[in-house]
């Protein structure tokens, strides 16, 4: 029986795929089929409610929306309202809790001082030593140049070594090129114009993006399963335009080799208390704690306190490691060898005239949520809309 193919097939129901699908339906009156191998929409932004505690669990780790792009902010507000949540992070070092990113409060607490901004700047420059004002190429020396050796070794060195399972002296400086240090008491993690969390959760937001009757979502569907109608081979044979948001090396059956990623494992811990850490995210900067940070989900949504269990809380401890095939890829490793390999895959991708590669996995880049949406809006306008107009 012949398949009645839609105007566009989107592989992956994450933010990139859903943004493209929504735009295609609305602006081009296109029929769109969105497929995903997972059993839920939303990609890594998917969340669900924990019945025991009343907390909204971010299944793939903490997701925090922030942007300075008016275009992106106005777009996402079409589908959800946002809370007034402002992200702040704390770090445990040597049995004491400090505010992050490094700011005047961190500096004065660490050195048991009451320095002015000018005095703190002078101290940091002195502690950076011969690296002050330089542009080192490895992470270790870059960190020292930015915040001085004592603060770097206390809050960055061991945390980063755990996160990457690599000596920071062997990591590229680009990982922390924008390591913030503030010579005031501002401990907001992000400095964007707009920030918040979706009032009724991430999944509701994503469901509204896909609510157009011209969009159909099929879950549990493998793009590489030749027995199903929306497979790679079937769509290519039918000439259907495809937006692909899966791993770019997987698309080409790893013909040139595997791109390397970091992944994250979570260990869930439940406590018989209403609040364990007193904050949503606690970093653990010391080498003797095996995980990098702990996430206490209830504390992302204090406005829901009345609906949460006052006697129970849930915490996820986060462990980082190199990804293998079958793991969830989170962070591209991006060594020079990986960049060179991706460039070769990018050449192959350019030869797929009816396929647009997007999102983190499809472009081997780490994006925050607002960046994914921005790139999806641009991709629709510049590449997908012209394909649908043919």
What lies within 8 Å, CB to CB, of 282 at 6+ separation is: 89, 90, 91, 92, 97, 293, 294, 296
Q: How many other CB atoms are found less than 10 A from the CB of residue 286?
A: 16
Catalytic residue among 33, 249, 317, 318: 318
Separation CA 225–CA 231 (nearest Å):
6
Catalytic residue among 159, 262, 342, 364: 262
Catalytic residue among 159, 182, 202, 296: 182
Answer for the pair 65, 82: CB distance below 8 angstroms, yes or no.
Answer: yes
Answer for the pair 11, 223: CB distance below 8 angstroms, yes or no.
Answer: yes
164 burial (CB, 10 Å; 0-12 / 13-18 / 19+) is buried
Please tell me what DSSP assigns to residue 267.
E
What lies within 8 Å, CB to CB, of 6 at 6+ separation is: 30, 31, 32, 33, 216, 240
Catalytic residue among 36, 46, 293, 296: 293
Task: Using alpha carbons, list the distances in angstroms from residue 160 to 141, 331, 359.
Answer: 13, 13, 25
Structure tokens at 151: 């603060």
Query: Is 48 a residue of the active site?
Result: no
Query: Is 368 a residue of the active site?
Result: yes
Catalytic residue among 112, 178, 288, 353: 178
Helical pair 15-28 and 202-209, crossing angle rounded to 10 deg: 30
Separation CA 283–CA 155 (nearest Å):
9
Query: Is 262 a residue of the active site?
Result: yes
Catalytic residue among 48, 291, 319, 366: 366
Catalytic residue among 212, 222, 286, 368: 368
Query: Is 60 a residue of the active site?
Result: no
Separation CA 314–CA 298 (nearest Å):
8
DSSP H helical ranges for 148-198: 149-152, 158-164
Q: Phi and psi for 46 in degrees, rounded to 5?
A: -60, 140
Query: Is 344 a residue of the active site?
Result: no
Structure tokens at 178: 């924008």
Q: How many other CB atoms are found less than 10 A from the CB of residue 177?
A: 11
Query: Is 321 a residue of the active site?
Result: no
Query: Is 126 a residue of the active site?
Result: no
Task: Using alpha carbons, list the distances in angstroms from residue 196 to 76, 77, 359, 367.
Answer: 11, 11, 22, 17
Please tell me what DSSP assigns to residue 59.
T
Cite the active site residues. 178, 182, 262, 293, 318, 366, 368
């Amino acid at each position: 029986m012949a398949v009645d193919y839609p105007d566009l097939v989107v592989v992956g129901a994450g933010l990139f795929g859903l943004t493209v699908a929504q735009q295609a339906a609305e602006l081009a009156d296109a029929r769109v089929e969105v497929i995903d191998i997972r059993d839920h929409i939303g990609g890594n932004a998917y969340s669900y409610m924990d019945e025991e505690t009343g907390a909204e669990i971010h299944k793939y780790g903490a997701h925090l929306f922030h942007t300075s792009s008016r275009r992106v902010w106005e777009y996402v507000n079409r589908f959800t309202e946002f809370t007034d949540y402002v992200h702040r992070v704390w770090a445990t070092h040597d049995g004491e809790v400090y505010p992050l990113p490094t700011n005047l409060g961190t500096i004065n607490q660490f050195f048991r001082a009451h320095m002015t901004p000018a005095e703190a700047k002078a101290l940091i420059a002195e502690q950076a030593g011969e690296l002050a004002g330089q542009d080192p190429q490895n992470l270790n020396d870059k960190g020292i140049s930015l915040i001085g050796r004592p603060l770097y070794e206390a809050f960055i060195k061991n945390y980063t070594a755990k996160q990457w399972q690599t000596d920071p002296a062997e990591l590229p400086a680009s990982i922390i090129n924008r390591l913030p240090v503030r010579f005031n008491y501002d401990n907001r993690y992000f400095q964007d114009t707009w920030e918040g969390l979706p009032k009724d959760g991430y999944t509701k937001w994503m469901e509204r993006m896909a609510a157009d009757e011209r969009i159909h979502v099929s879950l549990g569907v493998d793009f590489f399963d030749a027995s199903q109608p929306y497979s790679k081979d079937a769509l290519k044979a039918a000439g259907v335009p495809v937006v692909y948001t899966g791993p770019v090396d997987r698309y080409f059956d790893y013909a040139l080799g595997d791109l390397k990623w970091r992944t994250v494992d979570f260990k869930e811990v439940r406590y018989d208390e209403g609040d364990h850490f007193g904050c949503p995210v606690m970093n653990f900067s010391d080498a003797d704690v095996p995980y990098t940070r702990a996430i206490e989900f209830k504390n992302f949504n204090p406005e829901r306190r009345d609906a949460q269990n006052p006697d129970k809380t849930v915490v996820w401890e986060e462990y980082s490691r190199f990804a293998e095939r079958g793991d969830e890829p989170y962070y591209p490793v991006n060594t020079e060898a990986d960049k060179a390999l991706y460039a070769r895959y990018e050449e192959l991708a350019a030869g797929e005239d009816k396929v647009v590669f997007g999102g983190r996995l499809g472009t081997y880049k780490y994006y925050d949520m607002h960046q994914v949406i921005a790139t999806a809006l641009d991709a629709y306008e510049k590449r997908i809309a012209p394909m649908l107009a043919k």
